[in-house]
Amino acid sequence: MTHYLSLSTPKLFRIRVPNPYFEKDNNAYLLDVSELILIDTGIDTPEALSSLRAGVEASDHQLEEISKIFLTHKHLDHFGLAHRIAEVSRAKVYIHQDDHLDVERFDERHDTINNLYEQKMREWGIPQNLIDMLSMRSRLIELGRSVSAISLRDDERISVGVSELRVIHTPGHTQGSACFLLGDLLFAGDHMLPTYTPNIGATEVTSNGMLRKYRASLHKIEELNSIRVLPGHGDEILNPRERIQEILIHHKGREDRILEILSDGRTRSVFEIAQELFGNLREHHVLLGSGEVHAHLEGLLDEKRVHVRDNLYFLVAAKGLH
Ligand SMILES: [Zn+2]
Ligand SMILES: [Zn+2]
């Protein structure tokens, strides 16, 4: 199996890092711009580390030469290996300030984050036995470690070798998600993906209004001209503007379906709506699906199209029918 792909720019390499746990393989991008930089790392497993090492060596370099690591966001599959690479290379690690704490204090914050998740899941009406079964974070904690990192701000420019990397803050998937622009290359992390839409609402428990922020962040990318979009999973997005429209239409369709489900006038929890929308949810999809529905309901609440009482949602138009 090829571990890397040399993209059209000869000094850019995409390294596929295996991830059998969630979201499939990750892309780590290696750039030789008279210094060696890495965008995202993959999870912390021996297999992921050896794939990353093999990919770097296939591009005639060594892991030890990497001088800067840029992380698109705080998820394990994007930062998990950062501590190991930083240890052997002494590379500086960068992440947007809004995701900084969760990465730099990942180990210590585990319990706090886990409690926040459980609280959210209870509010969403997920049955306790499913919440207990999930205990996702405790299973996944092995896939990453705290790493000390430098905080980035929106529009900050970091010099990398002969070039400059621009930070574009794109909150939505997480509060501190950022894309990195280097020449015409946009490293998009999970902000835009080629074949499925990134989860909005379930993978960020410390901020609200993620869908509204996400839409605004998509428009921010729409304004950039002639860019090549390189995502955190899958292949290059060949027509970014078209993809943005597809994602916006997808979200609109989902919102319409939620309103349709509520149109019978009954009150429902977030979880009940998610079950009707997605069918019988299993494993971590219980959390992802419910979070996604909640993100839509937040928007509909803002627009005063739905109401909520005791964590049960109902259509404004159907008020008084139940
Ligand atoms: Zn992610
Ligand atoms: Zn991801």
CA of 189 to the centre of ligand 2 (A): 7
Distance CA 232, CA 10 (A): 20
Check residue 322 and give its pLDDT: 46
- Average pLDDT of the segment spanning 13-20: 95
- Average pLDDT of the segment spanning 94-111: 95
- Average pLDDT of the segment spanning 284-312: 95
CA of 187 to the centre of ligand 2 (A): 13
Distance CA 167, CA 156 (A): 5
**Whether 18 contacts 46, CB under 8 Å:** no
CA of 34 to the centre of ligand 2 (A): 28
Quickly state the pLDDT bin for 316 (edges 50, 70, 90).
Answer: confident
Burial 133-154 (b: 16+ CB within 10 A, else e): ebebbeebeebbbbbebeebee
For 273, what's the count of Cα atoms within 13 Å in the CB-facing half-sphere?
34
Instruction: Assess whether pLDDT exceeds 90 at residue 239.
Output: yes
Burial 277-315 (b: 16+ CB within 10 A, else e): bbeebeeebbbbbbbbbbbbbbbbeeeebbeeeeeebbb
For 74, what's the count of Cα atoms within 13 Å in the CB-facing half-sphere?
31
Domains of the chain (ranges; CATH) run 4-249 (3.60.15.10), 254-315 (1.10.10.10)
CA of 153 to the centre of ligand 2 (A): 21
CA of 284 to the centre of ligand 2 (A): 14
Closest CA to 55 of 100, 25, 24: 25
Closest CA to 5 of 64, 55, 41, 72: 55
Least confident among 86-90, 107-111, 174-178, 246-250: 107-111
Quickly state the pLDDT bin for 1 (edges 50, 70, 90).
Answer: very low
CA of 166 to the centre of ligand 2 (A): 21
Share of the chain above pLDDT 90, in %: 80
Dihedrals φ, ψ of 104, to 5°?
Answer: -70, -30
- Average pLDDT of the segment spanning 151-166: 95
Check residue 162 and give its pLDDT: 82
CA of 233 to the centre of ligand 2 (A): 7
**pLDDT tens digits, residue range 182-225?**
999 999 999 999 999 999 989 888 899 999 999 999 999 999 98
